[in-house]
Structure 1
Amino acid sequence: MTRNHPTLLEVAVIATAFKLLLLPAYKSTDFEVHRNWLAITHSLPVKEWYYEKTSEWTLDYPPFFAAFEWAMSQVAVYFDKDMLRVANLGYDSFNTVLFQRLSVILTELVLVYALNKYVQTSPTTQRKPAYAAALAILLSPGFLIIDHIHFQYNGFMYGLLLLSIVYMRDPSTYLRGGILFAVLLCFKHIYLYLAPAYFVFLLRAYCLGPNFQIQFGNAIKLGTSIITVFGIAFGPFAYWGQIPQVLSRLFPFSRGLTHAYWAPNVWAIYSFLDRFLIMVAPKLGLHVDASAVNSVTRGLVGDSAFAVLPNVTPRVTFVLTLAFQMMFLIKPFLYPTFDNFLASLTLCGYGSFLFGWHVHEKAILLVLIPFSLLALKDRRYLAAFRPLAVAGHVSLFPLLFTAAEFPIKTVYTIFYLLTFLTAFELLTPPSSTPRTFVFDRFAQMYWLISVPLIAYTSLFHGIIWGKRFEFLPLMFTSAYAALGVVGSAVGLGYVEGLGLKKQVEEEREKVE
C-alpha cells in the first residue's frame, strides 16, 4: 500500500534545515554550562570532575552525562581547542557555537529512532494515531525552544526515555526497558520522578506472576542489571570516596522552593496567592513578614520565604509528591497493561512537576512527552491533554525574552497547537464513557485566554508600563500556565479513577 505521508526521518530532515537557520539565535547560560562541562571533562582527570569550580556552572549531572560530554569533547577539539579551556569562561566563538548547535541536532537522532520504533511497534489499526503522536513530539516547540535556542540536550535524553517506553510494550523486552531506564537515570537524575511508575510496573509485570507469585529468575536478572548499570556509573567515585561530593552536586537542596518566576505548578499558584495577600493584608488584618516581602520565592539560592502564607520545606514537597504519585500506582499494579503504565508514568510526571522542590519550567516535558502518546486513546484523554499542551508550551515563552525570537516562538507554537490539536481531535476515537462537561469547557476557555495573554505579556505590557512592573508578565504567565497544568492533572486523574473503577467492576462480574 502506498503511503500518503512523509516518514519521520524525512520530517526530521526538513526540521533540521529550519534548526540550522537558528544557529545565531539567542543562547542562554545553559550554552556556557555545557561548554564548561566540555572543558572540564576534556581537560581534567575524572577524579576532579565533580570538584572543579572555576565557573559557577559546576558539573551537576550524573556520570554518564559527564562521559557523554567527554565523548563530544573528542570531536569539539577539531572545531576550536580554546572552547576546551576551563579558564575560558563565556567563550563563544563561531566554531564553538557551530559545534554545540550541531551536537544537539545530531544527538536528537536518538529521538527520531525511538519515535519511529514506537510507530512501527504499534498495532496496525493504531499506526495513524501513533504516527500523529510521534510527529507531535518530534516537532514540539518544547524541543525547539529549550534545545535548539535556549540550549540543552533534551531531544537525546527523551529519545532514550521513549525507547525505554517502547520496550515496555512487549513482555519479551521488559528487561531491556528497565535497563535502559537505569542508564537514563545515570544521564540525568530528573527522571527519578518517573521511577515509581517503572518500579511498580516491572515489579508486577516482570517480577510477579499473574497470581502474584515471585518470578525469582526475572527478579534476579532485573536487580543484577540495574545494580551493574549504577555500579559502572558511580563505582569509580565510590572507590575514590567521592559519593558525598557527587550527591551534593546532584541534589542542591539549598536552592529555593521555586525556580525563577515561576515554573507553572502548585507553588506558582501558592506564590501568586502570597503576593496577592501581601496587598490585601492590611484590610484583612493578616500578619506580613516584612523580611520576606521583597524575596518571595524568586528562585534565588536559599530564597524560599513567604510573607503571609506558611513557608514550605523540601520534606513537605517530597511527601506531597509521593502521596500524589502513589494514588495512581494502584492501577498499573493491579492491571499491568501498557496503557496503564503510560498513564501512571504521565501522572508521576505530574506529581513531581506540581509539587516538587525547585522545579524548572523545562521539566514540563516530563509530562508532555508521555501524555502525547496517551492523548489519542479517547476523547476524555484528549480533553485533559489540551490545556496541558497550551500551558506547557506557553510557560516556556519567558525562556526566550529577546525581540528576535518573539515571532519564532509565538508563530511556531500557535501554528503547532492549531495543527496538532485539530489533528488529534480528528484521529481520537469517542470515549466509552460520557465525557465531562466541566473539563471540556475548561479546555476550550483555556485555549481562548492564551491569545490575549500572549499579546499582553509580549507586546502591550511594555507599551503600557514601559520598564515598570517587569515581574508582572512573568507572574501572569506562570499563574495562567499553572492553572492549565493543574486542571489537566485533575482531568487525567479523574479519567484514570473512572477507568480503575470500571476494571474493578468488570473483574467482580467475572468472579460472580
Structure 2
Amino acid sequence: MFTESKNIKKEMQINQDEEVSFNVSRDGVILKTFLLITCIKILLIPTYHSTDFEVHRNWLAITYNLPVKEWYTNTQSPWTLDYPPLFAWFEYCLSQVAVFFDPEMVKLENLNYASPATVYFQRATVIFADLMLAYGVREISGTFCKSLNGHVIFVFLSLCNMGLLIVDHIHFQYNGFLLGILLISMSKVSKIGKEMSVLQGAIWFAILLNLKHLYMYIAPAYIVWLLKSYCLNSGKFFKRLFILGIIVLTVLTVSFGPFITQLAQVISRLFPFKRGLVHSYWAANGWALYIGAEKILSVIWKRLGWLKDTKSAVMTGGLVQEQNFLILPTPTPIVTFLLTFLAILPALWCLLCKKSYMNSKYFIRCTVLCALSSFMFGWHVHEKAILTAIIPLCVLAATNKKDARIFIILSSAGYTALLPLLYPNNLFSLKLLLLLIHMFSSILGLTNQHVKPLLRLHEWLYVIPLPLITFYEVALHKLLFGDRLPFLPLAFTSIYCAIGTTYCWILYYYIYLQNNTYADKKTAKSKLKGQILKDKQS
C-alpha cells in the first residue's frame, strides 16, 4: 500500500516536471521568435511610411496640447481623431513620453512633421506595443496548441506575420497591439467552466471595442458565445447576464464618460458614412467584384450606345467620395449593414442553437467568419481589415488541416492585396521577397505539420500566380500600357485577390457547417450506441 502510494506520487511529480519543461520550451520559442522579428522591425524603421504616420503624430499633438473636451472637435489638421476614447488616452500616454524625444513632435501647428527623432520614437512605440501581441500569442497558444510543433507553427505564423510587418512597421499603424488584446480575450472566454477567466476575457474585449470600434463586427460572435457557454449552461442566467452587462457599462463609462456632453460629435467621428462605399484603394472583397462588374458593364453599354451618361471611371479614380453607379444599383450604408448581418447570421445561429458547437474552436471559427463577412460586405472597408480574420485563423491553422487550407489561400490573397500600400518603386524587391517568404514558409510549415498536401489543384493554380500580380502592378503594366489606364493595376490586384477571399469565405462557411453536421451525426450515433448498450444491460 505504501509502495503504491509512493509510486503514484513519483508519477505525479514526473508529470508536473514534464509540464513545467514543456511550458518553458513554449515560452522560449516565443521569446526567441519575438527577439528575431524585433530585429527585422528595427531594420525597417527607415523605410517609407504612409500618411497614417502623420495621423498618429497629430493625435499625439491633439491629446498633449488640448483639453479633453476639444479632442474630438479640433480640425486644425485634416487627420482628425476618429478612434474611440481609450485609444485617445493611449495616444495621450505616448505624448507624455514623446515630448522628451522631440518637443516639436507634439506641436499642433507642425503638420507633416517627421524629424529623425519623431520617426524613431513612433516606430519604437509600435514595436514596444507588440509585446501585447506576444502575450496574446502565449495565452491563446496555451489554450489551443497541445503539441510543441503546433505551438512553433502558430508562433511563427502570428509573430512573424507578413501582413503586420507591412501594415504596422512599414505603412504605420498599431494593429499588432490591438490584435494581441483580441487573442488574450479569445483565449480567456474559450475556457468553459472557468468563470473568472471568462469574465477577464469579457473585460479585455470591452476594452478592445473602446480602443478600436471596428471590432464591433465580431462582437456578435462574442455575445452568442458568452450567452451559450457562460449564461445559459449555468443555472444562473440573469445573474451572469447582469455581471456581463456591468462589465460593458463600466468600460463604456470610463471610456466615454469625459465626452458625455459631446457624444454626438464623437459618434460622428467614429462612423463617417459620407466617406463612400469603398476606400481609395479597394479592399479585396465583394464590393471590388461588384465595382469591377459595374466597370465592365459600363464599357459594354457605352460601346452599344445604351449609356447616355458619359461619366467615366466610376469608382476607379482612387478618390474617397460618394458616387452613384451607372448600371448596377448603388449600395447604401443600410444595404451593406443588412448584407453583413445576413452573412453572419447562419454562423451565429449554429453557434447558439447546436449542441455540437459547444467547443471553443467553433467560437474561433465563428469569429473568423464574422470578420470575413464584415470584410466582404461592410461599408468603406479598409484592405487592412483582412488581418482581423487572418490572425485568429493562425491558431486553428496550426492545429487543423482544413483551417490550414483556408489560411494558406486567404493569407496569400489578403497579403498580396496589401502590397500596393507600399507604392514607392524602391520597395518592389522587399514586397516580392516578403510575399515569397510568406507563401513558401506557410505552405511548407503547414504541410509538414499536417503531413499531407493541403491545397487542391485549382487552388494551386490560383495561389501560384499571386507574385505575378505584384510584378504586373509594379512593373509590367507600365511596359504594356505606359501612362494609360493608371488605376488598372490596383483594380486588377483588388479583383484578383477578391476572388480568393470570396472563395475562402464560401469554402470556410461550407467547412464550418459540414464539420458540425458530421459532429451532430457522430453525437447522435454515440447516443444511440449508449442507448443500445443500456437496453442490453437491462
**TM-score, length-scaled by structure 2:** 0.89
2:272 counterpart of 1:252 = yes
> Which residue in 2 is equivalent to 1:195?
219
Question: 1:123 & 1:460 partners in 2: Cα distance?
Answer: 43
Q: How far has the Cα of 1:166 moved from its partner?
A: 1.1
Relative distance call for 1:307 and 1:225 in structure 2 (3 A) is same
Larger proportion of helix? 2
Equivalent residue in structure 2 for 1:128, among 138, 149, 168: 149
Q: Distance in 2 between matches of 1:5 and 1:111?
A: 14
The whole-number CA distance in structure 1 between the counterparts of 2:397 and 2:279 is 28
Map of 1:356 onto structure 2: 378
Q: Once the 2 structures are TM-superposed, how far is the Cα of residue 410 of structure 1 from its aligned partner? A: 1.4
- For 1:355-504, what aligned pairs fall within 5 Å after superposition? 355-428=377-450, 440-504=456-520
Does structure 2 retain, via aligned residues, the 8 Å contact 1:288–1:307?
no
Structure 1: how far apart are the matches of 2:382 and 2:305? 34
Displacement of 1:298: 4.8
| Match in the other structure for 2:161 | 140
**Does residue 56 of structure 1 match 2:72?**
no
* Counterparts of residues 222-237 of structure 1 (less than 5 Å): 222-237=244-259
Secondary structure of 2:96's partner? helix
Over 3 Å counting, the alpha-carbon distance change for 1:286 and 1:507 in structure 2 is: farther
Q: CA deviation at 1:36?
A: 0.2
Matched to 2:366, the amino acid is S
- Per the TM alignment, residue 122 of structure 1 is displaced from its structure 2 partner at its CA by 3.7
Distance 2:140 2:184 in 1: 8
Which string of whole-angstrom CA distances, capped at 9 and with x for unpartnered residues, describes residues 239-284 of structure 1? xx21100000000000110111310000000111111112211456
- How far 1:116 sits from its partner (Å)? 1.9
* CA positional deviation for 1:230: 0.7
The answer for the alignment partner of 1:16 in structure 2 is: 38
Deviation of 1:379 (Å):
2.7
Amino acid at match of 1:188: K
Supply the distance in 1 between the matched residues of 2:83 and 2:134 (Cα, whole angstroms). Answer: 24
Moved more, 304-313 or 39-48: 304-313
**Aligned AA (1:497):** L
Q: Aligned ranges for residues 324-363 of structure 1 at < 5 Å?
A: 324-333=343-352, 334=354, 335-363=357-385
C-alpha displacement of 1:148: 0.6
2:456 alignment partner AA:
D
1:447 deviation in Å?
1.2
- Could you tell me whether the CA contact under 8 Å between 1:376 and 1:429 is conserved in 2? no
Aligned to 1:77, the other structure's residue is in SS state helix
Shift of 1:504: 2.6
**Aligned mates of 2:317, 2:251 — CA distance in 1:** 37
Q: Which segment drifts farther, 216-225 or 147-156?
A: 216-225
Asked which structure has the greater CA Rg, the reply is 2
Conserved? CA contact 2:181–2:204, under 8 Å? yes
CA apart distance, 1:360: 0.3
CA shift at 1:427, angstroms?
0.9
- Please report how far the alpha carbon of residue 507 of structure 1 lies from its aligned counterpart in structure 2 after TM superposition: 3.9
Q: Does the 8 A contact of 2:416 with 2:467 survive in 1?
A: no
Query: Equivalences for 1:110-121 in 2 at 5 Å?
Result: 110-121=132-143
1:262 aligns with 2:282: yes
The answer (yes or no) to whether the contact 1:32–1:90 under 8 Å persists in 2 is yes
Which residue is 1:168 aligned to?
Answer: 189
Alignment check: 8 A CA contact 1:258 1:299 kept: no
Residue type at the aligned position of 2:346: M
- The correspondence for 1:81, drawn from 98, 103, 109, is 103
Of the structure 1 ranges 11-20 and 388-397, higher mean CA displacement relative to structure 2 is found in: 11-20
Q: 1:73 and 1:204, CA in 2 relative to 1: closer, same or farther beyond 3 A? A: same
Relative to structure 1, the CA distance from residue 420 to residue 54 in structure 2 (aligned partners, 3 Å threshold; closer, same or farther) is same
Match for 1:147: what amino acid? D
- Other-structure match for 2:292: 272
Secondary structure, aligned partner of 2:313: helix
The change in CA–CA distance for 1:459 and 1:328 in structure 2 (over 3 A counts) is same
Q: 1:403-447: per-residue Cα shift (whole Å, max 9, x none)?
A: 22221121022112201221111112779xxx9xxx723321111
Give the secondary-structure state (helix, strand or coil) at the position aligned to 1:468: coil
Q: Distance in 2 between matches of 1:326 and 1:224?
A: 26
Residue in 2 aligned with 1:69? 91
Counterpart Cα distance in 1 of 2:227 and 2:189: 12
Amino acid at match of 1:146: V
- Counting only pairs closer than 5 Å after superposition, residues 311-330 of structure 1 correspond to structure 2 as 311-330=330-349
Q: Encode CA deviations 1:110-164: one digit per residue, 9 max, x unaligned.
A: 101111222334453x332133122211111111111111100111111111111
How many Å apart are 1:286 and its aligned residue? 4.7
Q: AA paired with 1:392?
A: G
Secondary structure, aligned partner of 1:478? helix
Task: Flag the 1:501–1:298 CA change in 2: closer, same or farther, 3 A.
Answer: farther
Alignment of 1:301-316 (within 5 A): 301-316=320-335
User: Matched residue of 2:275: which SS?
Assistant: coil
CA distance in 2, matches of 1:5, 1:116: 7
Q: Measured at CA, do residues 501 and 289 of structure 1 come closer, stay the same or move farther in structure 2, by a change above 3 Å?
A: farther
Cα offset, 1:5, TM superposition: 10
1:180 — aligned with what?
204
Opposite residue 342 of structure 2, the aligned amino acid is A
Distance, in Å, in 2 between the alignment partners of 1:420 and 1:6 is: 21
Contact 1:258 1:297 in 2 (8 A): no
Query: Contact 1:120 / 1:127 at 8 angstroms: preserved in 2?
Result: no
| Runs of at least 5 residues in structure 2 that lack an aligned partner in the other structure | 1-20, 529-538
Moved more, 14-23 or 397-406: 14-23
Whole-Å separation in 1 of the counterparts to 2:350 and 2:394: 20
1:447-485 CA-to-partner distances (Å, cap 9, x unmatched) read 122132222222211223233221111011000110010
Deviations 1:58-112 (A, max 9, x none): 0000000000000000100000111111111111111111100111111111101
Compare 69-78 and 130-139 and name the one that shifted more. 130-139
Counterparts of 2:458 and 2:498 in 1: how far apart (Å)? 14
- Percent of residue pairs bearing the same amino acid type: 39
Structure 1 residues 304 and 128 mapped into 2: Cα distance closer, same or farther (>3 Å)? farther
CA–CA distance in structure 1, aligned partners of residues 499 and 177 of structure 2 = 30
Q: 2:50 touches 2:172 (CA, 8 Å); kept in 1?
A: yes
> Contact (CA 8 Å) 2:316, 2:491: kept in 1 or not?
no
Q: 1:72 to 1:282 in 2, by over 3 A?
A: closer
**TM-score of the superposed pair, with normalisation by structure 1:** 0.93
